[in-house]
Amino acid sequence: MNIVSLDNISRARGSRTLFHEISFGIDEGDKVGVIGVNGCGKSTLLRMIAGQEEVDSGRITWRKNLRIAFLAQDVEAEPDQTVRDYLFALGGERLELIRDYESACEELERLRSGSSREDSNRLNVSRTDAESIEAAEHKLDELTARLNQTNAWNFEGEVRSLLRELGIDRLDQPIEELSGGRRKKVALARALIDDVDLLILDEPTNHLDVETIVWLEEKLERMSAAILMVTHDRYFLESIVDRIVEIEDETVYRYPGSYSVYLEKKAEREALQQRTRQRAANLLKKELVWLQRQPKARGTKQKARIDRADQLAERAGTGKEVEEGFAFKARMQRLGKRVLEVRNLSKSFGAGPLFGGFEHAFKQGERIGLVGPNGAGKTTFLEIITGRLAPDTGDVNTGINTRFGYFDQHAEEFQSEERVIDFIRKRAGDVIELEDGKQDAVRVLEYFYFDGRLQYTAVNRLSGGERRRLQLVYVLMSNPNFLILDEPTNDLDVRTLGTLEEFLQSYPGCLVVVSHDRYFMDRVVDQLLVFDGHGQITGFNGAFSAYIKEKRAGKANAIGVANTVGATNQSNNADDSKHPVRKKRFSFKEKREFAQLEEQITELERERDELTALLSGGETDTGILADSGVRFEQVELELKQNYARWEELADSVESTD
């Protein structure tokens, strides 16, 4: 049964049309993911369906008495609003009863606690105190009776359980005092706290730690309500949605199925469009030849041929053409023998240590992910190794040829009134040196989906996601050989993430990434530094998803990447932290495996290059394209596994020669 219908909806932002006369519906129990580039109107669409923003034209129809919960990207709270007030601000009898019951319990506890302290200093509690306690007890009894009458006890238990699972315990704390991650958890709790028919989520995984993301994923999978969401987390999409709505070129395309099915169907659609454009272009050439041979058009027949040529030109020009031969591959300065070394690194904030006694020598080609709970020190670590922040103890030695590119979480500089193209040219230059030659700033911006209109738009008029994308272009155009990405997936759309992943997979320098996005991390890093939030950093060789799986099974062991030096056992392990454990000698069998791996990697790289050429060439057979796409993913996975094993064996095999 249909619960929301959109009929011929149009919406613009100033002179920019977001969508024009789009129509689709949401049925009971649907799980719908909304996809599109930054600035295409995804959040606007969600707000309109939530009833928080008007349409320019068209009509949205909601089923009568439809219950909707909406999680916005940003948590907006009133000044001095407490967690409790924010959670229960939506109203409803059960929520109001639970809010009043929780407040009454805390008030009675406060009064009793105060009278107990006074009682230790004098024999009798004042009559006023006793009356206050009695009044509080009476109020609590009344609320208890009302909870019984409305059968709200189970609901109260569910609310308590939800808050406990999200780690929300201080209901009297002002929202403005919370960190970004905790604010997001409180907003998430408010969206999930009551039964609804439609749950609308705008980037629900932003600022959440991976444990909470996995918890939310499992909760939404079990939910019977309809869900409409925007998210860049592709594992999250794959697990939850059964339908994709893509906003592109001011319209919407609907794809039944999961995210992986969407990828297949979109490839088929674009291949069909490409063939249509090619046929139109061929016909157009014939029409133009005919027109050039004719005298100036006078008759109806000739006028019809001209009109037909105009239509073909329009069809042939539809779609975004990417000039062949341009691949964004960095041409960076060669790293020296010493890239970056940290010794006995320690940092504390407040009462507790973030990390202590950490040591590691970064090498060219390393692809390391930093993971751990919010507030564990990951960003602080990045600030220290890039020289923005001093450690409490220890040394950071940067190689003479090491050039950092730091994509941080702050984009204050990107509020300029300059046009996008002028902003980039002023800061990064007119051209960039790439592996296959020079490219100008215009082409590089186009590669990251800044078309002509956006390039001549003022930076401060871009959407938040577009500004974040511009920040990425700015960092990459500096051609760093040590690239640091701090939460790069926040605010970037799925298509831009795919382009960034493609760039990173061929990036030859040293890469360090902080992200909670499992899909992104699995594609671009092969080892982890795990910040436990209690002063310890441990290493893990393998994919992020493998680490999460082992951690949930209680088996995550520190191996390989770095010395494990906790803040509480620095003195016991001081010698170990300075002298790495000697590698064991490998057997003949393992040396043979190493040689075979090199052959396999060479062959797989050759096949990958052939598949890349086929997929980006003129092939029009959808069956061949689909099979090649599947094989390409398999080759990428096999290469990733072989690279990881080769790197594991490399140093040890050399020691036996």
Residue-wise DSSP of 281-329: HHHHHHHHHHHHHSPSP-SHHHHHHHHHHHHHHHHHT-S----TT----
Q: Is the pLDDT of residue 656 over 60?
A: no
The CA–CA distances, whole Å, from 317 to 19, 313, 453, 520 equal: 20, 6, 17, 33
Q: Please state, in angstroms and rounded to a whole number, the distance separating the CA atoms of residues 320 and 318.
A: 7
The reported pLDDT for the residue numbered 325 is 45
- 589: confidence class by pLDDT, cuts 50, 70, 90: low
In the chain, where the domains are located: 81-178, 267-316, 340-578, 588-656
Cβ atoms within 10 Å of 435's Cβ, excluding its own? 12
H/E stretch holding 218 reads helix 210-222
Amino acid letter, 222: R
Of the candidate ranges 110-114, 510-514, 538-542, 556-560, the one whose mean pLDDT is the lowest: 556-560
CA atoms within 13 A on the CB side of 26: 30
The reported pLDDT for the residue numbered 344 is 94
- 653: confidence class by pLDDT, cuts 50, 70, 90: very low
Q: Is the pLDDT of residue 324 over 70?
A: no
The pTM of the full predicted model, rounded to 2 decimals, is 0.71
Q: Which residues contact 309 (CB under 8 A, 6 or more apart)?
A: 284, 287, 288, 291
- The larger pLDDT score, comparing residue 52 to residue 122, is at 52
Cβ atoms within 10 Å of 289's Cβ, excluding its own? 9
Of the candidate ranges 77-81, 299-303, 350-354, the one whose mean pLDDT is the lowest: 299-303
Q: Is the pLDDT of residue 401 over 60?
A: yes
Q: What number is the average pLDDT over the span 356-360?
A: 93
Q: Is the pLDDT of residue 616 over 70?
A: no
Q: Please state, in angstroms and rounded to a whole number, the distance separating the CA atoms of residues 205 and 655.
A: 45
Q: Is the pLDDT of residue 11 over 60?
A: yes
- The larger pLDDT score, comparing residue 305 to residue 337, is at 337
Q: Is the pLDDT of residue 646 over 70?
A: yes
* Bridge partners, 439 (sequence order): 432
The reported pLDDT for the residue numbered 242 is 93
State whether CATH 3.40.50.300 applies to domain 340-578.
yes
Question: What is the per-residue pLDDT across 206-265, written as a single tens digit (0 to 9) for each?
Answer: 888 888 999 999 999 999 999 999 999 999 999 999 999 999 989 999 999 989 888 888
- The larger pLDDT score, comparing residue 121 to residue 147, is at 147
- The larger pLDDT score, comparing residue 276 to residue 409, is at 409
Q: Is the pLDDT of residue 85 over 90?
A: no
Q: Please state, in angstroms and rounded to a whole number, the distance separating the CA atoms of residues 238 and 320.
A: 27
Question: What is the per-residue pLDDT across 414-456, written as a single tens digit (0 to 9) for each?
Answer: 778 899 999 988 887 787 777 667 778 888 898 888 988 899 9
Q: What number is the average pLDDT over the span 517-546?
A: 92
- The larger pLDDT score, comparing residue 455 to residue 140, is at 455
**Mean pLDDT, rounded, of the chain:** 81
- 309: confidence class by pLDDT, cuts 50, 70, 90: low
